[in-house]
Structure 1
Amino acid sequence: MAASQPLRVGFVPEHFSTPIHFAQKHFGLDAQLIPFPSGSGHMIISLRAGEIDIAIGLTEAWIAGLGKPDVEGDGGYRIIGNFVETPLCWAVSTGAKRADITSLESLRGSKLGISRIGSGSHVMGYVLADQQGWSAPSPPSSSVSSASDTGSDSPYADSVVLQTFANLRAAVNDSTADFFMWEHFTSKRYFDNGEIRRLGDIYTPWPSWHIVATTKVLSSDDGKAKVKDLLAKLDQGIEYFQGHHDEAVQYISTELDYSEEDAREWLKTVRFSERTEGVNPDVVQNCMRVLWKAGVLVEGKGLGGEEMYAKQLGA
């Protein structure tokens, strides 16, 4: 990234992105916003490829990406801030007419649809398996480019990589996959119109969204100064969001794929961070412990918790 260029920021174009939109619209956020509808796993690939400088995505995906046993080099990015303090509610969905799938228990040994290897939709499949008390899972590897979780100790017959939310919905209806997990309110419209069927929900046991930056952008004083300015603008966008819920609902229900009713219901459930800069080490360690237990990560392998976040951005 040249000194004169704005930061390239990856984000998921969902309701959670509303404060980012406000930061740019009302407070002059100088950044190139790049949507990633395929989610956090795709952003990890782009961060490491030097295609984006900052990404705002799911906590478990960032930590799984840095904690995997075969992480290369310095991992390519560090967690620099927190974005959403409340946990994420993942809806567990199957095809509308899948009579063979009746409950969460019936998913054991089935085909899990995911956006990408190492994404939140992949990682949370293993957290679900752990919570359900199924057999110890095989840790997913983000170095694999296609479905891979077929070991004898895996709780699933396969993990089918499908890239997008639309592909996931289609796959559970044509039996390419048996179920998938996606954020509750993003899924709700498709429960309401009968396209897919909800089997249940699972909550992340940690704050749901964090912000990361590439190690390259954090390696220079100019880069760190740009990151600090971006975080300050996000703080302003969040503060504006908190005081202008009607404007938020208008934006979510007209520019994004949500009804006004669902947007207002979501507002009751979400709490954004008042100050985005900084990382709570306890959050990282708690997430790692859950991912160790679920078999997503292997204790003692990959980066340690203290290596995953930037401790000080400086001036």
Structure 2
Amino acid sequence: MKVTKINNLKTNFNQEKKPLIAIWGFFDGWHLGHQMLLKQMQDLAKQQHYQTLVVSFDVKPQNVLLNKNEPILLSNQDKQQFLSNQQVDYYCELKFSHELASSSAEEFINWLVANNVQAVVSAKDIHFGAKGQGNLATLQNSPLKVFISQDVFDENNKKVSSSYIKELIVSKNITHANKLLNRDGYTVTGTVVHGIKEGRALGFPTANLALSDNYVVPGVAVYISQTEVDGKWHQSMTVVVLRDGKLLVESYLLNFDQDIYDKVIKVRFLSYLRDSVAFDSKKALIEQINQDLVQTITYFKNAT
């Protein structure tokens, strides 16, 4: 996969002038809906002898346009890693700025055409270009060949979208969120930092994460999880706690006794275990954690 990062629409990336079919969007999560769009593009590429192009943005457009800082499901590095395993030929990451946002739909189409994009796969309700003035009709009246994508719905007849999956994660419905993400589990990355060492005092030392990106954090609760250290995944329990007004992710790795401070690790949320509640005594809390541990071990035994 050829990766190009571009600051504006004056830059071309397809020097080979190979005929391309493209999709574009922020693609937060690369969920089932995005994967369906990707597959449709790949199928058409094989049938009509195109190379595939994915165009994305370095930040969520709304964060720039509305001066927000909305959390994400996937970092740019996560996205690139996902696509590197999907047999995509070209990946172009556009720097989203007010300058880019002011570009007209026609300017964006002209940039695609200048890079020998001959076809696109688009949603029916697409809006693009300055103030979202470009739509499906704009594409259909352009030199591009346009194929319309199909929406994906879950068993509750809810359209699969990044915002829907974020709602599921925040409401602790990790199992359903993972199903719609169509991956092993919703994953966050961070550096292990020193905490208040409450878990260690109880006999359950946790790896406390300083998240590397503004990830969506699951609701306050205890979760069955896996934690990756130095490329190896370990069974774990992860608690999300609210401390000083901030959601924190703390992971207890089973059968693990290493100093991993300052290491970059990943935590993969697999299943909700229980709400995080206050206990009357230290003894009661330890008893509950041991029960959590039994449930976690059983979960992994049943998963094999």
Q: Check whether TM > 0.5.
A: no
Q: Give the structure, 1 or 2, with the largest relative contact order (CA under 8 Å, sep 6 or more).
A: 1
In the superposition, the TM-score normalised over structure 1's length comes to 0.29
Give the number of the structure whose residues are more often strand, by fraction: 2
Bigger radius of gyration: 2
